[in-house]
């Protein structure tokens, strides 16, 4: 339980060296600096910057979406917080235009709620997803709060609470015209939330788009699934759950710390990350600033991690990966049984279903997301579709070239067909 405290001591001790390395990189590379003229200055500057980026503390990145091109015109975008909860902010990215014709079209665009993963990285990992969706939709995003920043008096946060948050956000936006996209981990609580709403007779979203998530983690298990099943639940509680130190607002809260998650991310592909950092060093030495900038952008996002609430994390391990309660029909949330068969499609209303998987996904194996179709038996066959993206890994189905050119056009058309 003292590991988090030791990590903070180490981080504080490293701070002077990272500041020194940052200053050295600038002194040996800045134009006008006499140190930039000494022999081997580019190599020295590259070494300093590599040291700085390995040791620095990575803050949560910004979405940075300030404009989007629609029909050849650049429309300003404003990021607005519309709902604040202790563990999540619901954001809306609102588009503006002075053209009366375009304004009417923007108002008619269907609203989309993007439920971002609470699995280590910040919601900004979906920046490309959001930017692309903004061309044709009103976009809302769940922006999960780093648990170490949530005061202990705000209570715990469980997987049941996650489901409740999604229900509340759907009601706030209005389910009648809404389309919900769950990316990776939230496919499970998103399906649960809509199932519970349907079972109560509440209005449900026009469509669900579930992307690369563990609806049934028994299908094509990956290394991530195996890790969760090879250890008992007490092992996770004893080995990865830590107490937030006193220098954060959430002091005393039990969490799965971001720095431990980051270690796990890096351990999955250590050779690839080591080679990436070596290539970054070489690019700086050669003066290849474009590739160096791409490296910075990627690792500024990849290295920025958040703490997950302990109860939520342990619930996910138990319910999703060990006991598989959702596909077995045994999951109860607040005393209510989660029954996806309660979700219905009907003429002029109801909910349609699109599932998306990457052919080479090494986090959620093939069939894990597609399993939602067997569970959602109340949705008519003509209102259900599945897409397997050839050559795509986990991130390729919601970010990058394949997302923009292969996946998004089908998501856009599916939403348009079911927009009423």
User: 148 lies in a domain?
Assistant: yes
Residues 181 and 283 both lie in one domain = no
* Domain assignment present for 8: yes
Q: Residue 184 and residue 263: Cα distance in Å, rounded?
A: 20
115 is a domain residue: yes
Residues 200 and 107 in one domain: yes
- What is the Cα–Cα distance from 312 to 330, expressed in whole angstroms? 18
Q: What is the CATH number of the domain that holds 164?
A: 3.40.50.1820
Domain check: are 354 and 266 in the same one? no
Residue 296 shares a structural domain with residue 312? no
263 and 381 belong to one structural domain: no
Same domain, yes or no: 11 and 152? no
Q: Are residues 98 and 199 in the same domain?
A: yes
Distance between CA atoms of 299 and 87, rounded to whole angstroms?
Answer: 25
Instruction: Choose the final residue of a domain: 247, 269, 302.
Output: 302
> What tens digit of pLDDT does each residue of 304-327 get?
899 999 999 999 999 999 999 999
Burial bucket for residue 67 (CB in 10 Å: 0-12, 13-18, 19+): middle
Please enumerate, as own/partner, the contacts of 152-156 that have beta carbons within 8 Å and a separation of 24 or more.
152/250, 152/251, 152/252, 152/253, 154/86, 154/87, 155/86, 156/309, 156/310, 156/311
pLDDT of residue 279: 87
Per DSSP, which regions of 65-123 are E strands? 67-70, 73-85, 88-95, 111-115
In this predicted structure, what is the pLDDT of residue 296? Answer: 85
Query: 34-56 in b/e burial notation, b at 16+ Cβ within 10 A?
Result: eebeeeebeebbbbbbbbbbebb
Are the beta carbons of 197 and 167 closer than 8 angstroms?
yes
Total domains in the chain come to 2
Angle between helices 41-55 and 270-286 (to 10 degrees): 150
Residues 165 and 194 occupy one common structural domain: yes
**End of a domain among 302, 317, 336?**
302
What pLDDT shows up at residue 143? Answer: 97
The pLDDT of residue 262 is 79
pLDDT, one tens digit per residue, over 316-368 is 999 999 999 999 999 999 999 999 999 998 665 689 999 999 999 888 999 99
Residues 268 and 366 in one domain: no
Domain that holds residue 38: 3-57+258-302
Tokens found for residue 102: 């375009």
Examine residue 119 and state whether it is found in any structural domain, yes or no. Answer: yes
Q: Which of 302, 320, 355 represents a domain boundary (last residue)?
A: 302
CB 78 within 8 A of CB 106: no
Q: What was the pLDDT predicted at 173?
A: 97
pTM recorded for the entire structure: 0.91
Residues 13 and 154 in one domain: no
Q: Is residue 238 part of a domain?
A: no
pLDDT of residue 104: 77
Q: Tell me, yes or no, whether 62 lies in a domain.
A: no
Asked, for residue 96, whether it belongs to a domain, the answer is: yes
Predicted confidence at residue 145, as pLDDT, reads 97
Q: Which positions of the chain have pLDDT values less than 50? A: none
Element (H, E) at 256: strand 254-256
Q: What is the 3-state secondary structure (H, E, C) of 131-153?
A: HHHCCCCEEEEEEECCHHHCCHH
pLDDT of residue 135: 94
Instruction: Please give the pLDDT value at position 250.
Output: 95
> Is there a single domain that holds both residue 101 and residue 210?
yes
Please indicate, yes or no, if residue 10 is contained in any of the structural domains: yes
169 with 317, same domain?
yes
């Amino acid at each position: 339980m003292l590991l988090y405290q030791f990590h903070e001591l180490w981080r504080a001790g490293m701070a002077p060296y990272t500041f020194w390395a940052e200053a050295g990189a600038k002194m040996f590379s800045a134009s006008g600096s006499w140190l930039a003229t000494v022999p081997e200055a580019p190599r020295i500057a590259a070494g300093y910057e590599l040291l700085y980026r390995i040791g620095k503390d990575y803050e949560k990145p910004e979405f940075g979406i300030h404009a989007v091109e629609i029909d050849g015109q650049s429309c300003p975008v404003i990021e607005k917080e519309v709902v604040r909860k202790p563990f999540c902010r619901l954001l809306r990215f609102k588009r503006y235009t002075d053209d009366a014709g375009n304004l009417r079209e923007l108002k008619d665009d269907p609203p989309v709620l993007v439920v971002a993963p609470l699995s280590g990285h910040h919601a900004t990992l979906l920046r490309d997803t959001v930017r692309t969706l903004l061309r044709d939709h009103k976009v809302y995003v769940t922006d999960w709060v780093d648990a170490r920043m949530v005061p202990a008096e705000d209570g715990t946060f469980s997987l049941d609470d996650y489901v409740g948050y999604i229900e509340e956000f759907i009601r706030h936006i209005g389910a009648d015209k809404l389309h919900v996209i769950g990316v990776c981990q939230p496919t499970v609580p998103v399906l649960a939330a809509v199932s519970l709403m349907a079972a109560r007779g509440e209005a449900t979203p026009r469509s669900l788009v579930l992307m690369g998530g563990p609806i049934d983690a028994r299908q094509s298990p990956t290394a991530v699934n195996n890790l969760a099943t090879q250890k008992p639940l007490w092992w996770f509680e004893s080995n990865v759950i830590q107490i937030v130190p006193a220098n954060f607002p959430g002091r005393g809260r039990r969490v799965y710390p971001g720095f431990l998650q980051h270690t796990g991310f890096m351990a999955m592909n250590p050779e690839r990350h080591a080679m990436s950092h070596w290539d970054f060093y070489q690019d700086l030495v050669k003066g290849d600033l474009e590739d160096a900038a791409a490296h910075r952008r990627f690792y500024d996002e990849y290295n920025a991690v958040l703490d997950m609430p302990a109860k939520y994390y342990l619930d996910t391990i138990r319910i999703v990966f060990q006991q598989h309660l959702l596909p077995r029909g045994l999951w109860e949330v607040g005393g209510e049984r989660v029954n996806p068969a309660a979700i219905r499609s009907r003429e002029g209303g109801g909910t349609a279903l699109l599932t998306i998987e990457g052919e080479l996904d090494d986090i959620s194996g093939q069939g894990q997301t597609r399993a939602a179709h067997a569970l959602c038996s109340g949705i008519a066959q003509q209102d259900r579709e599945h897409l397997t993206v050839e050559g795509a890994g986990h991130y390729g189905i919601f970010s990058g070239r394949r997302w923009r050119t292969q996946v998004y056009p089908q998501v856009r058309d599916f939403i348009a067909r079911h927009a009423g």
